[in-house]
Amino acid sequence: MNTPVPPLGGAALRVEGLGLDIGGATILKDVDLDVAPGALVGVIGPNGAGKTTLFNAVSGVIRPTAGRILLDGVDITRDSVPQRARAGLGRTFQTSSLFPQLSVRENVRIAVQAAEGGSYSLFHFPKKTDAASIRAEELLRSVGLAHHLDSRAGDIGHGDKRKLEIAVLLATRSRLVLLDEPMAGVASGDVAGLVDSIRGLQRETGCTVLMVEHHIEVLMGLVDLVAVMYFGNIIAVDTPQQIMENPTVQSAYLGTSA
């Protein structure tokens, strides 16, 4: 089990008073969250609690109606998705966002070139011996996909697709990574390998990770801290052990009496 990472000169991600109202319905309300640099924080809560909506607001997919979002102390509340990506924010989604017709190697190679400011045309593939392709292969080996370098991304298993998404994130050198249900649809035999890939992502880059996951037993053994969402608000942030023993969480989320 990891131990909580103390703040190092401020929060990597700070969410202050975040709110979202849509058509008179309150989706997020007064959400406050500080994530320390290098921490791995899990976000849990029942369906409809606002977890993915929070991720959408932080990543720029939707714009909140109240509050603000700071990345390394810089206000990004009104920044676009590409602006946030250039600022160092990376994200995976519940459904795959890969190029299914391209090879596993090419998916990562494109990300490497984009991160380095080079051309990433889909119609002109460089040689396997160029710098971007070599780096892509290194990243794929690090997540356990060396045997799939030339496989079509659309043909590999779901667990391997998740590993490929992590390799793409490694290529982008994101400082803050949002993982939205990375274990969803992954076969039980592939979970351990995916957990190792997430740990490898953090170990290799030193990035900060915010992760939504419904596999509670997996998440609790992986993260430093857990944030619990309920009806669009964060009701507790603590270590996994303290969260599981928290009577408010037990009542609101685990369905037991306080």
The pair of three-digit structure tokens given for residue 239, joined into one six-digit string: 């270590």
Residue 153 lies in a domain: no
pLDDT at 65: 96
pLDDT 10s digits, 140-185: 998 889 999 999 999 998 889 988 988 898 888 889 999 988 888 8
Kindly report the pTM of this predicted structure. 0.83
Residue 157 lies in a domain: no
pLDDT at 255: 58
CATH number at residue 20: 3.40.50.300
Handedness of CA 197, 203, 209, 212 (dihedral sign): positive
Residue 125 lies in a domain: no
Total domains, the chain: 1
Q: With beta carbons less than 8 A apart as the criterion, state whether 21 and 204 touch.
A: no
pLDDT at 233: 95
Q: Count Cβ atoms within 10 A of the Cβ of residue 206 and give its class: 0-12 exposed, 13-18 middle, 19 or more buried.
A: exposed
Residue 136 lies in a domain: no
The pair of three-digit structure tokens given for residue 240, joined into one six-digit string: 């996994």
Residue 232 lies in a domain: yes
C-alpha 69/C-alpha 18 separation (Å) is 8
Residue 49 lies in a domain: yes
C-alpha 106/C-alpha 102 separation (Å) is 6
Q: Domain containing 91: what range?
A: 13-101+174-252
Residues 6 or more apart whose Cβ sits within 8 Å of residue 206 = 38
* Partners of residue 44 on adjacent β-strands: 228
C-alpha 114/C-alpha 111 separation (Å) is 5
Under-50 pLDDT residues of the chain: 1-8, 120, 122-123, 257-258
Residue 73 lies in a domain: yes
DSSP 7: P
Residue 95 lies in a domain: yes
Tell me which residue of 211, 215, 214 sits closest to 178, measured CA to CA: 211
